[in-house]
Amino acid sequence: MDMKITFPGGVKVNAEYDGFTHETDQARISGGDESAPEPFSTFLSSIGTCAGIYVLRFCQERNINTKGMEIVQSMNFNLFSGMIDKIKLNIILSEEFPEKYKKAVIKSANLCAVKKHMEKPPQFEITTT
């Protein structure tokens, strides 16, 4: 399983994977054009969108209307370490959402593959050729 990272110009860095190109750029203050999300923003969005697909599929399988539902992702930035030390996902349910499924929808969001990889991170090996 390979992903190709390319440098299309300026400070843009793209990832080509599975037939798609995921574009990134930097803020103007960092020399970019702000034409695409920064790589770290893309990383953060992968957490919420991954949980979101599990929530969506959970609802679809039970014919639960998702209109008005959303997930709000909050990140706590630790000033001492310079890293995010807590990520909270709040699943905002519609008024019609069945009470009996509230715990189960949280369980489904916890199945997110991105979250699981963060809990047991892979080893990194960086080489040159």
Task: Delimit the domains of the chain by residue range.
Answer: 1-36, 40-119
Q: Is the pLDDT of residue 107 over 90?
A: yes
pLDDT band at 73 (very low <50, low <70, confident <90, very high): very high
In this structure, are residues 17 and 23 in contact, taking their beta carbons and an 8 Å threshold?
Answer: no
Report whether pLDDT(127) > 90.
yes
Structural tokens at position 18: 């599975």
Euclidean distance between the first and final Cα of the chain, in Å?
A: 18
- pLDDT score at 1: 85
Q: Output the average pLDDT for the chain.
A: 96
- pTM of the predicted structure, to 2 decimals: 0.89
CATH architecture of structural domain 40-119: 2-Layer Sandwich (3.30)
Residue 89 has pLDDT above 90, yes or no: yes
Span 54-74, mean pLDDT? Answer: 97
